[in-house]
Structure 1
Amino acid sequence: MKNGENKRLHIQMIENIINRMSSNSFLIKGWSLTILGGLITVYLANINKPMSYLILLLCLFFCLIFWISDTFYLREERCFRSLYEIVRKKDEENIDFSMNPIKSKETFLRCMFRPIFLMSYLPIFIIIILAIIIKFIH
């Protein structure tokens, strides 16, 4: 097609994936707040019980799982954004509808310590670790 329809459709397919990755990341943040808030409430209700530290360990586990999951979706989104840029610059006759994401130069750990994650997951993670240390000291 000479009118750019293939390029437009390919870009739209990539945009749909990017939107899905963003939505998944948003859902993970919502679920993390809900589950961690609920577990912390259960811990505070049972703070004087001998095994209450297990609830804190569960909080730590879930915080790490949500952080890793959120990092995965952000990194995937960045890979598809790179693919978007490549397709955007292609000529119409070179459009092949490939949906293979471009490997990001950013490592998983580097992505995990982006400012958005350091401001959201790291404080919770540190507070839970401090609560566990205080629980073991007393």
Structure 2
Amino acid sequence: MMKKSEYDINKRFHLQIIESTISRMASNSFLIKGWSLTALGGLIALYVANQSKSWSYDLLLVCLGACILFWINDAYYLNLERCFRKLYASVASQTEEKIDFSMDHPCIKGGFRCALVQPVFLFSYGIILIIVLLMLYFLK
């Protein structure tokens, strides 16, 4: 039979594992935002610099697709981060005897769809998406 302090160590260790996973998801999301701004800004700048070329309109289509892909990828990591936060809360409320080091996170109602329409995404990717769509419509 394990002592009470050994259970405490197990619970703390399990919570640390979950915390590190949450940190990875948050840093992945941050990196995606940085790459998306760089890539989308570069594509739009390349379009502006080469507007007279026949292939420049295709850059806006690529930018549109890239914006949607970055948005989906970022929402995926936000959803995972939320699931692991829920797992953290669940493990934190468990008794030490029930700690099994499981990383099976519970699903969140609405999950990915709710993550897609978060204000942080609507104000970043949504604005870029609207700008690209307006450019596609008016500059054809």
Q: Does the alignment reach a TM-score above 0.5?
A: yes
2:23 to 19, 25, 32: 19
Find the counterpart in structure 2 of residue 86 from structure 1: 90
What is the one-letter code of the residue matched to 2:106?
I
Find the counterpart in structure 2 of residue 2 from structure 1: 4
What is the one-letter code of the residue matched to 1:93?
E
Find the counterpart in structure 1 of residue 41 from structure 2: 37
Aligned equivalents of 1:107, 1:10: Cα separation in 2: 24
Find the counterpart in structure 1 of residue 136 from structure 2: 132
List runs of 5+ in structure 1 lacking aligned partners: none
TM-score (norm 1): 0.95
What is the one-letter code of the residue matched to 1:20?
R
Aligned equivalents of 1:9, 1:106: Cα separation in 2: 30
List runs of 5+ in structure 2 lacking aligned partners: none
What is the one-letter code of the residue matched to 1:18?
I
Find the counterpart in structure 2 of residue 57 from structure 1: 61
What is the one-letter code of the residue matched to 2:139?
K
Aligned equivalents of 1:12, 1:108: Cα separation in 2: 25
What is the deviation of 1:106? 2.4
Aligned equivalents of 2:123, 2:92: Cα separation in 1: 33
Give the percent of matched residue pairs that are identical in Structure 1 and Structure 2. 52
What is the deviation of 1:51? 2.3
Q: What number of residue pairs does the alignment pair up? A: 136
Find the counterpart in structure 1 of residue 103 from structure 2: 99
